[in-house]
Structure 1
Amino acid sequence: MVELGISTFGETTALESTGQPISHDQRIRHLVEEIELADQLGLDIYAIGEHHREDFAVSAPEIVLAAGAVNTKHIRLSSAVTILSSIDPVRVYQQYATIDALSNGRAEIMAGRGSFIESFPLFGYDLKDYEELFNEKLDMLLRIKDNTMLRWHGQLTQSVDNRPVYPRAVQEDFPIWVATGGNVDSTVRIAEQGLPIVYATIGGNPKAFRQLVRIYKEIGRRHGHDLNKMKVAAHSWGWIEEDRQAAVDHYFFATKQTVDNIAKDRPHWQEMTKEQYLQSVGPEGAIFVGDPQTVAQKIIKIIEDLELDRFMLHLPIGSMPHEATLNAIRLYGQEVAPIVRKHFEAK
């Protein structure tokens, strides 16, 4: 059965109604409430990203996830992503093993290079080592996952001479996913390692990722990996209201705030126009906005097109009023998820 869940960055852009952003501390408290609601509604996964910017509240997702673990019973808790290049893999494992203990075996790590680079100068890393840092630290994290006693000779990381790493995760085969924006070389390396992959399907037509999924599975097969463990996930921006047009109208401001903020720092991004937005929320676009039936059908399509094992709706991208966000989560859990699950149960 396909897993359905939510991803978030704890956005803190300006609200359309006030012109003011939600404070970081308030947004973090809201996130814990959202996790608990998603669990009550029977959603499968809640994932929080790491950023070091004013427009995102969460720089330490593991702490928010730990808070969310305490009063939840079923939902899996993941980063989305942990910027592995600029953090110590030993600490990453220890932190998520602790969440695994608090949640009784529901924690996961989603590792990524990070599409934002603020953490590199903040923690003293050189951007010229961008690829090498991630590759070495992922290898180190995987070694820690499989061995209590760590022997490691580092080039860009520390060397460790047979020292134990505690606590150990509750789950015997602790899940480590790797996220990518659709880079072919990243897909190939993740497949060669036999790790589950997550695609950020946030632009263009999501169907464009289909060839990458085929490459991923074919390379995994050639390397003799268990294809049942080579799972594919995607996350896409989205918003749900009872009325389709109201959802489309209300979500434009929040989406534009986020895109325009990113465009200030990235030459290849442009400020979002209304025309671009409407194309993105249309049937072939990458943003999942509308009433429950519209969003459910679009989720079914991306799951079938990309042969997904997991789909995460990034809800919201840009700040929306907290009560509206809770309502969108309720609609996702109570109306969208049953439609999607019934579709695949019938197959």
Structure 2
Amino acid sequence: MEIGISTFLEATPDPVTGQPYNHAERLRNAVEEIVLADQVGLDVYGIGEHHRADYAGTAPAVVLAAAAGLTKRIRLTSAVTVLSSDDPVRVYESFSTLDGISNGRAEIMAGRGSFIESFPLFGYDLQDYDELFEEKLDLLLAIRQSEKVTWQGKHRPAIHNLGVYPRSVQDPLPVWIASGGNPESAIRAGVLGLPIAFAIIGGMPEKFAPLVNLYKQAAARAGHDPSKLQIATHSHGFIADTTEQAADLFFPSTQAQMTVLGRERGWPAYTREAFDAARSMRGALYVGDPEYVAEKIVLLRQNLGVDRFFLHVNVGTMPHKEVLHAIELLGTKVAPLVRKALA
């Protein structure tokens, strides 16, 4: 089972001091995190694309490339690329370039995006939300399949027997489908025979079992072997030397960011009671000491059969040294415990 880190490069104000978090500093810190994750034996590091002031991750491939030459084995992925509002040619070129720099460690995680800022920014109509993703995913898969591409769609000019370069070291360049729990996304990934990543940030992870089954059934009907398809999950969490430390460190930034998002989306106030309930054994928050977090990941594997787990660190702004310590504990303590239990 692969274990790694995901982040949106949060750059929210410090929840204690109120001081803003400089975007440039967050980007440099991300490179340091990736290098440490590689050193402590983690398998993958993913950066999500967002286009708003409280995140610095507008160009994941650039940040990942900055760390590629400083690392040896860790896989480097978007988490996610908002494919609906991007150009598949440029997406492929960026990540095939990253693949070359890293000598075959790049991946693309393609999603429709739970945030919509990129659509007006790049001139797309939200009424075309679903259609844009389907069309651009089709083009991206055509590009990774063939050096010369002939393609025609509705929302992008046609391509007539043109080459897209550089070609990736990996053949084909891995493309994952990311989903927040949409059944249509699970079916789409299964039909295409693509690996899928589920964002589980609330409720009980075991409730995603029907979506996993839907994905596997769709894959089998389309002629793919479900046992050869990877399934990942991404959940918020934090690790410290004790569970109490982890909870107390992680709550202020999480509450601050969830309050911002709650105002935008009409969610109820985010309380400590809700936070503590979510970090229970069957909850979606992976917050605790290494033994507790490892136990939760093993339970996740038993319930959903996942092959890869992303711990999303951090939600909101946290002290960089604490984030580094959490990454170190994930690699040196949690991952060995999980692998031993699964063995």
TM-score of the superposed pair, with normalisation by structure 1: 0.97
1:216-237 CA distance string (max 9 Å, x none):
1111111111324421100100
| Preserved CA contact (<8 Å) 2:239 2:290 | yes
Instruction: Confirm or deny: 8 A CA contact 1:260 1:271 kept in the other structure.
Output: yes
CA shift at 1:39, angstroms? 0.3
Look up the match of 2:216: 217
Which residue in the other structure is 1:325 paired with? 323
CA contact (8 A) 2:177 2:185 kept: no
Structure 2 Cα separation of the partners of residues 341 and 158 of structure 1 = 48
Say whether the 8 Å CA contact 2:85–2:122 is kept in structure 1. yes
SS for the counterpart of 1:20 is: coil
Tell me the CA shift for residue 283 of structure 1: 1.4
Equivalent-residue separation in structure 2 for 1:203 and 1:150 (angstroms)? 41
Query: Aligned partners of 2:140, 2:307: CA distance in 1, in Å?
Result: 24
Decide whether the 8 Å contact of 1:303 with 1:311 is kept in 2: no
Question: 2:270 aligns to what?
Answer: 272
Q: Which runs of 5+ in 1 are unaligned?
A: none
Secondary structure, counterpart of 1:242 in structure 2 = coil
Structure 2 regions of 5+ residues with no counterpart? none
Aligned to 2:54: 55
Specify the SS of the correspondent of 1:130.
helix
> What is the SS of the residue equivalent to 2:226?
coil
| Number of the residue aligned with 1:189 | 188
Deviation at 1:246, TM superposition (A): 1.4
Q: Which amino acid aligns with 1:21?
A: P
Counterpart of 1:174, as a letter, is: L
Q: Could you tell me which residue of structure 2 aligns to residue 336 of structure 1?
A: 334
Structure 1: how far apart are the matches of 2:141 and 2:227? 19
Q: Does 1:287 pair with 2:285? A: yes
Amino acid at match of 1:43: L
Map 1:253-272 → 2, pairs under 5 A: 253-267=252-266, 269-272=267-270
Map 1:240-255 to 2 at 5 A.
240-255=239-254
Aligned residue in 1 for 2:91: 92
- What is the letter of the counterpart of residue 51 of structure 2? H
**Aligned equivalent of 1:39:** 38
Q: Distance between the aligned counterparts of 2:263 and 2:156, measured in 1? A: 32
Cα distance between partner residues in 1 of 2:241 and 2:37? 18
Aligned-partner residue type, residue 180 of structure 2? G
2:235 aligns to what? Answer: 236
Aligned-residue offset at 1:53: 1.1
State the one-letter code of the partner of 2:254. Answer: T
- Structure 2 CA distance, aligned partners of 1:186 and 1:135? 10
Deviation of the 1:185 alpha carbon: 1.4
Cα shift at 1:265: 1.7
Q: Deviations over 1:264-293 (max 9, x none)?
A: 2213x2331111111111112101001111
State the match for 1:123 in structure 2: 122
On the 8 A contact 1:196/1:232 being kept in 2, the answer is yes
Partner of 1:72: 71
Q: Name the SS for the 2:216 alignment partner.
A: helix
How big is each residue's C-alpha offset from its partner over 1:126-159, in whole Å with a ceiling of 9 and x where there is no partner? 0000000000000000000001001011211220
> SS at the partner of 1:167?
coil
Aligned to 1:179: 178
Q: 1:296 aligns with which of 294, 297, 309?
A: 294
Q: Could you tell me the percent identity over the aligned residues?
A: 52
Q: Aligned partners of 2:129, 2:16: CA distance in 1, in Å?
A: 40
Matches of 2:294 and 2:48, distance apart in 1: 24
Question: TM-score, normalised to structure 2's length?
Answer: 0.98
CA RMSD of aligned residues (A): 0.9
Of stretches 48-57 and 226-235 in structure 1, the one that deviates more from structure 2 is 226-235
Comparing 246-255 with 194-203, greater Cα deviation is found at 246-255
Task: Confirm whether residue 114 of structure 1 aligns to residue 126 of structure 2.
Answer: no
The residue number in structure 1 matching 2:11 is 12
1:50-97, Cα deviation, whole Å (9 max, x unpaired)? 001111111111100110111100000000000000000000000000
Q: Distance in 2 between matches of 1:290 and 1:20?
A: 27
Following the alignment from structure 2 to structure 1, what is the Cα–Cα distance between the partners of residues 335 and 54? 29
Higher mean C-alpha deviation, range 122-131 or range 185-194: 185-194
- SS of the aligned residue for 1:190 comes to helix
Q: Does 1:81 pair with 2:80? A: yes
- Alpha-carbon distance between aligned partners in 1 of 2:256 and 2:15, rounded to the nearest angstrom: 10
